[in-house]
Amino acid sequence: MTSSSLEEAINLLTQESSPFAVTEAVVNGLSLPVFANAPKSLAALLQQSAEEFSDRELLVFETERLSYGEFARRVSRFAQVLSKDFGVSKGDRVAIAMRNYPEYVITLLAAASLGAVAVHMNAWWTAHELAYGFEDSGARLAVVDDARAERLQDTASKLGVTVIRVRPQDAVPHDFDTLITQYPDAVFHPDMTDPDDDFSIMYTSGSTGHPKGVILTHRSVITALWSWLMILPTYEAMGYPIPAPTDNTGQPLGQSNLVTVPFFHISGTNSCFLLTLAAGGKVVLMPRWDPALAVDLIESEQITRFWGVPTMSADILEAAAASGASLSSLNSIDAGGAKRPPSQVGKIAQQFKQASPATGFGMTETNALGLRLSGKEYIDHPGAAGLLIPPVQTLKIVADDGSAAKTGAVGELALKSAANMRGYLNKPEQTRDALREGWMFTGDLAYQDAEGLVYIVGRKKDMIIRGGENIACPEVEGALHQIEGILEASVFSIPHERLGEAVGAAVYASATPSLFELQAALEQTLARFKIPEKIWFYPEPLPRGATEKIDKRGIREACLGGAVASCGPSDN
């Protein structure tokens, strides 16, 4: 791929009459390139897709199948419920906390059609973490499943949160299905949304103790979707058409996506569901991750695109090999959320010759838009994070002194586009630190080579990425400090063969509790994926550096090197 041919393709595709025409708009006080002919809101996108693909299948969950038209009708009916029964109007916040059920995305778009703001609550959070989410967001209406309703009981009572249940096992005051039966003939609600109105708040772990609520607007989401939609036409315009997948008889297959990641992640909502909705494809939901079931669904539903964290790609390779499945319908095996091991790229290319391995880099704060690499370029450069996705983004690598880093030099990766978040909820200082003159400073250390490929080499922030889940070390340290007898704690990443990274901790304590006791205590305040899998015990205060800060790097090296006694799975 040459820069000149790419530039020519972009110029062709962004002409005034094109679906991808680009113009300028003022966003957050800055003039930025935006898509001129894209829908102005998520409600407009749903209406456009429902009209164009009315009878086409959109959503599959177990034995349930919804067409675009039926899905849009359910969204309209639930919007009536929210408006007429619960008084939801523009700007109100509606929390969602559940597994990947169809009701999740129905609620998301029903809220959007009213101009309300959906608040994504991590379904793996404990009752303590959910309480923080409701206190921080101010949401007083929640659409949840049974498991989340149980965890939410005390918070709902304390804060006056009204709870609507989906798929309840027992009779409840507000049952989703019962509520929507009141409005069998609902039609699209008039869309009064401005492109820069808030669409959703999605929580992400940061370098501070509590998760941060990322505020996403309608324009920011649409910008990401239209940038991704333009990828295939760009390749075609450059003379590199990507062959359409075919079924066993040689007939072309429509686009279909197996959703393996939760909708409370930006990749689940944007990269998998909303992108497929915009493209007229089919989405197949999994209730929970199961590699064997994933292989069966890919085969039976003729899935064309698989997206998951790298551990899921590894699981798919193993499960398909074990069952002898060819997965011949797949034409793309994407990964994100964490860096894929370079060796896995070659394995995918070898085992599934018809499927193009692909990778991407993005953040909740950028609506998952950022970098992408696929096919031969990815196979040839398996350690790269990707190339910048055109046409409305810019990037820079920033040196420590604030200047632009030279080619090949490491600095902090920053991205600028209308896809960036509006800011962090209730955190003006952290917003100012992350968003500077429209640039989103990612906290990732990277360099860019002469061909434009970006390589991520580390993180500035104190974070662990466990199988695609971001974990803030200070949050885990804070939870450890709440346990009686723990005097000091340092949390860091430890290598994990399947997940890439896992959580480890070093502690100085007045007594030496067992790993089981510490994990049981932490389960009261932390989701399970945040709990340390191995703990090292120091007989004296933790080592400190010259500035008297705990020497996290030295502690990690000492612990992993065997210089400190540990308590972990292998010790029990």
Distance, CA of 55 to CA of 273 (rounded, Å): 18
From the DSSP assignment, how many helices (H) and strands (E) are in the chain? 19, 29
pLDDT at 547 over 60: no
DSSP string across 467-484? TTEEEEHHHHHHHHHTST
**Residue 230, both tokens:** 């333009």
Confidence bin at 188 (pLDDT 50/70/90): confident
Output the pLDDT for position 208: 55
Helix, strand, or coil here: 524?
coil
Looking at residue 317, its pLDDT comes to 93
Q: What type of residue is 386?
A: G
Comparing CA positions, the residue from 355, 352, 345 lying closest to residue 379 is 345
- Is residue 421 helix, strand or coil? coil
Q: Which pLDDT does position 4 carry in this prediction?
A: 63
Determine the pLDDT at residue 253: 78
User: Which residue, among 472, 413, 474, has the nearest Cα to 446 in the 3D structure?
Assistant: 413
pLDDT reading at 571 higher than 80: no
Collapsing DSSP to helix, strand or coil, 48 comes out as: helix
Q: How far apart are CA 166 and CA 143, in angstroms?
A: 7
Nearest by Cα to 476 from 47, 485, 486: 486
pLDDT at 497: 82
SS3 content of the chain, % helix, strand, coil (to 5): 35, 25, 40
Tell me which DSSP letter residue 160 carries.
T
Q: Mean pLDDT across the chain, nearest whole number?
A: 91
CA distance 555 to 570: 20
Other C-beta atoms closer than 10 Å to the C-beta of 447 total 18
Output the pLDDT for position 572: 38
Q: Alpha-carbon distance 114 to 92, whole Å?
A: 9
CA dist., res. 394 & res. 235, Å (int):
20
Output the CA–CA distances (angstroms, integers) from residue 102 to 14, 78, 99, 285, in the order listed. 35, 12, 9, 8
Contacts of 561 (CB under 8 A, 6+ apart): none
Structural contact between residues 423 and 432, judged by C-beta atoms closer than 8 angstroms: no
Judging by beta carbons within 10 Å of its beta carbon (0-12, 13-18, 19+), is residue 432 exposed, middle or buried? Answer: exposed
Residue 488 pLDDT exceeds 90: no
Distances (CA, A) of 372 to 20, 176, 265, 269, 385: 19, 38, 18, 18, 7
* Chain mean position to CA 506: 29
The stretch 521-527 carries a mean pLDDT of 91
Q: What is the pLDDT of residue 266?
A: 95
Q: How many CB atoms lie within 10 A of CB 303?
A: 25
Evaluate if residue 356 carries a pLDDT over 70. yes
User: What pLDDT digit, counting tens, does each position of 306-344 carry?
Assistant: 998 888 898 999 999 999 999 999 999 998 877 787 888
Which one, of 217, 91, 111, lies nearest residue 164 by Cα? 111
145-159, 199-213, 430-444: range with lowest mean pLDDT: 199-213
In the predicted structure, residue 467 carries a pLDDT above the cut 90: no
Q: What is the mean pLDDT of residues 462-489?
A: 85
Q: Does residue 570 carry a pLDDT above 50?
A: no
Q: What is the greatest pairwise CA distance in the chain?
A: 71
Share of the chain above pLDDT 90, in %: 72
pLDDT of residue 548: 59
pLDDT tens by residue, 254-302: 899 999 999 999 999 999 999 999 999 999 999 889 999 999 999 999 9
The per-residue pLDDT for 96 is 98
Output the pLDDT for position 569: 58
Q: 565 falls in which pLDDT band (50, 70, 90)?
A: confident
* Local structure of residue 528 (DSSP, 8 states): G
Q: Is the pLDDT of residue 245 over 60?
A: yes
Q: How far apart are CA 182 and CA 337, in angstroms?
A: 41
Flag whether pLDDT at 207 surpasses 60: no
pLDDT for the residue numbered 242: 74
Average confidence (pLDDT) over 148-156: 97
Give residue-wise pLDDT tens across range 84-105.
999 999 999 999 999 999 999 9
pTM of the model: 0.86
- The pLDDT tens digits for 42-62 are 999 999 999 999 999 999 999
CA 220 to chain centre: 15
